[in-house]
Each structure stands twice: as C-alpha cells, then as structure tokens.
Amino acid sequence: MAQPQDLLYSKEHEWVKLDGDVATVGITDYAQDSLGDIVYVELPKVGAAIRQFGTIGVVESVKAVSDLFTPISGSVIEINAGLEADPALVNREPFAGGWLFKVKASDTSETAKLLNADAYAELTAG
C-alpha cells in the first residue's frame, strides 16, 4: 500500500493528519503489516497531555507488543472507541477507520520534524 501523500510520518511508523490545530494519529500500513494481526490497542486517555515522540500506549499483535508513540505534542481530545471492540480495524484500514486518537496540537511547527510520504517510503524500502 502506498503512503498517502497528504499525511506526515514519524520514524516510529505513526502517521499524522493535521486539520488546523487538530491532529489525527494512526500507525502506518508498514507498521500494521510488520506487527501482524492486531488483537489489542492501549490508547491514551482523553485529556492527557502528550509530548512529541513520547510513549503513549501499546499495540499488541499475535507476534509482539509494540510501544505506541505520538508524532506531535498536545492534548488528547478523542480516541477511536471502535478499536476496543475491533482492534483489527487497524490492520484493515490503517489510514482510515483504524486511526487511533486525535490531539489538539500545542505546536504545529513540530511537524517539521516529521517525514513526508516520499521520505517515509525511503525509510521503509530497505
């Protein structure tokens, strides 16, 4: 699956879509494919203050447990509650219905530290 061009990516394999100062965050297709069948997602609590590149939860699959990082700082304003009942949604729709949480970004200039789709494709090509 190609990386959507309208998203930004972290080296830890999360994506972010900025709409004003609201950032929607998920894990990439590369990440979900590497993990295998996702069976559990631990998300931050609504209202939690998070810092760019900080650990904020875990993704558990049949293969491994992996830390979940945030690509942008701010305050969590929404989580994808549907993942509690169906964590495999991340496998099926990593860039759509499988998003993880939304953040009211405290500093949108942090996106300069993220990768565009082409740079992320280079990172994962090897």
Residue 3 lies in a domain: no
Asked if the structure places residue 17 within a domain, the reply is yes
User: Which CATH number covers residue 94?
Assistant: 2.40.50.100
Structure confidence at residue 118 (pLDDT)? 95
The reply to whether 81 falls in a domain is: yes
Residue 119 lies in a domain: no
Using one digit for the tens of pLDDT, what is the confidence trace for 4-47? Answer: 999 999 999 999 999 999 999 999 999 999 999 999 999 999 99
Nearest to 82 by CA among 103, 66, 99: 99
pLDDT exceeds cutoff 90 at 2: no
How many structural domains are present in the chain?
Answer: 1
Within a domain: 123: no
pTM as predicted: 0.94
Q: Is 78 a member of any domain? A: yes
Hey, what are 19's tokens? 């709409």
pLDDT in tens, 63-112: 899 999 999 999 999 999 999 999 999 999 999 999 999 999 999 999 99
Which range marks the domain in which residue 99 is found?
8-107
Inter-residue contact 26 to 94 (CB < 8 Å): yes
* Chain centroid, CA 4 distance in Å: 13
